[in-house]
Amino acid sequence: MKAFLTTFLAIGAAATAVAAVSEERLYPSHLMVDQEVTVTARITGIVSEVLVDRGTAVTKDQPLCLLDARDLEQDVKQSAEEMELARVEYDRAKSLAGEKVLAASDLDEKKAQYQVSVAKWEKAKAQRDYAVIRAPFAGVVTEKYARPGQKVIEDRSEPLFKVTAAEPLLARIYLPEEELLQVRRGDPVDVTLDRFPKARASGVVQFISPTVDAASGTFQVLVRVHRDPARPELRPGVAVKVRFRSAKGS
């Protein structure tokens, strides 16, 4: 009787284990990031200095390289002088108009000339600022094409760098239609790496598609993966498995 009871308990435990495994929902994916852009120059110029290399971590607006700005600096200086001269003439015109010596139409002309000079000065400053090629967001330089002495042409959109955002790290999965009501935003998931079985991470459901693909009968879910600095394997492109523990995402 004791042996029978032991066997029965063992069978029951095995059945429980099988049931637990059947509750797991495992989906393949690859880690990715939302932002990855090719950085180009907004003006024509010669690359004078490259400030970063592949693998360099950068912050938003950090300089990546410099274009020769000597001519641009001269344009700013010249336009500033013209603006100052126009301002003096406009101030004199206002004084004369106040004394009824200058016609209102002449005052309007001096005012317009001053406004044009201000716009020209601001444009020259903007062009000079474009000589500093900056990172569009925080991330890592994944490709470097720029080299000192290279001439870049504004209209050609020649690539200088590729910058990939470090965060957020995402995994896109597709769930069958019948699980549409079983997934909620904020549901926790476990993430395992196919090639690095000891590397594990956690994540949460960030987005659930409002539509179901009629052809495949699936809907898209985006999972935000919590990046662990101690796990360098967690990077864009790595193959992973995303696991839901139960229908409630527990």
CA distances from 12 to 19, 21, 189, 246 (A): 10, 14, 28, 20
Q: What distance in Å separates the CA atoms of residue 134 and residue 239, rounded to the nearest whole number?
A: 31
pLDDT of residue 154: 84
Average pLDDT (142-156) is 93
Half-sphere exposure of residue 211: CA atoms within 13 angstroms, side-chain side:
4
Half-sphere exposure of residue 36: CA atoms within 13 angstroms, side-chain side:
10
**72, 124 in Cβ contact below 8 A?**
yes
pLDDT tens by residue, 5-53: 444 444 443 333 333 334 567 899 999 998 899 999 999 999 999 999 9
Domain ranges of the chain: 24-34+167-244, 69-130
Residue 166 pLDDT > 90: no
**CATH topology (fold) of 69-130:** Helix Hairpins (1.10.287)
Architecture of domain 24-34+167-244: Beta Barrel (2.40)
pLDDT of residue 156: 85
pLDDT > 90 in the chain, percent: 69
